[in-house]
Structure 1
């Protein structure tokens, strides 16, 4: 058994992931707010306006109309969702990897095993946290001054099913984490192969940033459309009604074309890359701290 600070390596990973998710969410929530509002905008003309500059314009507009506090609209469910997601994800990921390794070194796992372990951990996490993301989306797409702002209890007015809207595309989104973690683990193994004299327990901080950023970029480009579909299903304030995943795909493609599936990609990249790098940097350093003081 590996050394553990909290008595269980999976629990160490959960606490490290929880802390990492909290830090990155608090720092970068405003960009997530803009990304969400871009995603729910189903107007055709907005396609020409979605570029990196539009992200900063949107931030200025929100701050001017709603105040600086408006940039943190929906931060509570986002914080709860992010911390819970990262905590549960790393907990299950560590448990599944160690079960697959069967007592052998985790570095012996293949790319396919890392892909499967991260996919399984992601699926479990989605089921556990989907309600938090529904609440977060409802809050992010309205302002505090909006008379139509969502004030009711979702479960009360829409039933338990209302808390699980967007679950199917959320499960599709497990592919994002699976691809990300597979490349992340393989890049770390590659680093050890070309520099075996370095500490095998951890990379340098710059290496963590480069590895996390590179692997996440690949995953974002490959799987981004599911996020837009999930956001459209989570939010119901549309002229167009979306009824399920297939119906949403058809309507988005018909009205907005292929590029419609990539609305909000610019603010998503701006947010996700620093968020991912921050999350993994905090996570890996906390794990190193736990190992050192186990």
Structure 2
């Protein structure tokens, strides 16, 4: 099994675990980002309070709306990203060693090369998985009408059922979303928000650049202090992943909001604020109708969700890679022994 495949599978596994842990936060954050009405101040509510509001009015299941396609998207996204990241990283390492042989550099991959590797991996990932995230965003922002929100009290069961059948939309599953997106814009509808998403590759690029830089420095310091051992603990990986994601999220958050606005269902009404024709149209309308505050809606929730998810992902991924390499090495040793016998 190649090192790239090991990293790809480990990344997919780590991403799934991180997604399961932080998904309710992601749902609330997506709703905060896509709230277009400046008169509404839902994003000013505490994250936990908003989660309670969703549970109260729509039920627990709405916190996990779109979970299945999201897990598929996460596994695909992380798998594709780590697979191509390792391939591009290996090429960068070979190039760095070749440069060293002619007297340029010390043979290690520099910060700029790390940034380029992460950016290329991110672009491949975005182009292949964007349709999945369009579906996930639609399902996360879908709001369910419940009996608690019906007007009046003391209605008969038959009357309540009649009202619900009139106001509550039909089941909103993955197939429904796919049909809806295709009906609105055809095949290209599944690549809505791809421009800001491609620009958003700077987020994991910055994240991995910071992570690799901090990890390299930590290993060098550890090797000096412990006589050649550069081992890093799972907790240290967790903290490095959290710090790297925090820095990347703060820098790129406005692009994330624009992407979510474009991928959410467009409300085609007389209110121009609710419909975006494209990336620049969304940016101009957000500035005009909401001010620069609109680009930072839900940022505190996103920081908590993304930092926790990234920290868990890095920790689990590194442990899975170590485990896989250990098992492969053990298997190779046993095979060699059996051949000698």
TM norm structure 2: 0.79
Cα gap change, 1:107 to 1:252, in 2 (>3 Å): farther
Partner of 2:160: none
Map 1:63-102 → 2, pairs under 5 A: 63-102=55-94
SS of 2:266's equivalent in the other structure is coil
SS of 1:45's equivalent in the other structure is coil
Task: Structure 2 unaligned segments of length 5 or more: list them.
Answer: 98-105, 146-167, 329-341
Highest CA radius of gyration, 1 or 2? Answer: 2
Partner of 2:278: 244
Correspondence for 1:165 among 184, 189, 192: 192
Partner of 1:123: 123
Shift of 1:103: 7.7
Task: Quote the RMSD (CA, aligned, Å).
Answer: 2.0
Partner of 1:50: 43
Partner of 1:222: 251
Partner of 1:15: 9
* Residues 153-203 of structure 1: CA deviation (Å, up to 9, x unaligned): 123553111110010011011000100000000000110222213643x52
Partner of 2:296: 262
Aligned length: 285
* Residues 186-231 of structure 1: CA deviation (Å, up to 9, x unaligned): 000110222213643x521121111111111110010001110001
Cα gap change, 1:259 to 1:156, in 2 (>3 Å): closer
Partner of 2:206: 179
Shift of 1:255: 1.4
Partner of 2:164: none
* Residues 26-82 of structure 1: CA deviation (Å, up to 9, x unaligned): 1111110000111110121345x534x521111101111222222111111211111
Output the CA distance in 2 between the equivalents of 1:207 and 1:232.
Answer: 35
Cα gap change, 1:243 to 1:99, in 2 (>3 Å): same
Larger displacement relative to structure 2 (230-239 or 125-134): 230-239
Partner of 2:240: 211
Shift of 1:291: 1.8
* Residues 230-283 of structure 1: CA deviation (Å, up to 9, x unaligned): 011111334422111111111111111112101111111121111111111100
SS of 1:236's equivalent in the other structure is coil
Cα gap change, 1:107 to 1:237, in 2 (>3 Å): farther
Matched, 1:287 2:305: no
* Residues 99-136 of structure 1: CA deviation (Å, up to 9, x unaligned): 11118789811111110000000000000000000000
Is the CA contact 1:139–1:149 (under 8 Å) kept in the aligned structure 2? no
Shift of 1:92: 0.4
Is the CA contact 1:73–1:143 (under 8 Å) kept in the aligned structure 2? no
TM norm structure 1: 0.91
* Residues 2-29 of structure 1: CA deviation (Å, up to 9, x unaligned): xxxxx11100011101101111111111
Partner of 2:159: none
Higher relative contact order (CA 8 A, sep 6+): 1
SS of 2:265's equivalent in the other structure is coil
Task: Structure 1 unaligned segments of length 5 or more: list them.
Answer: 1-6
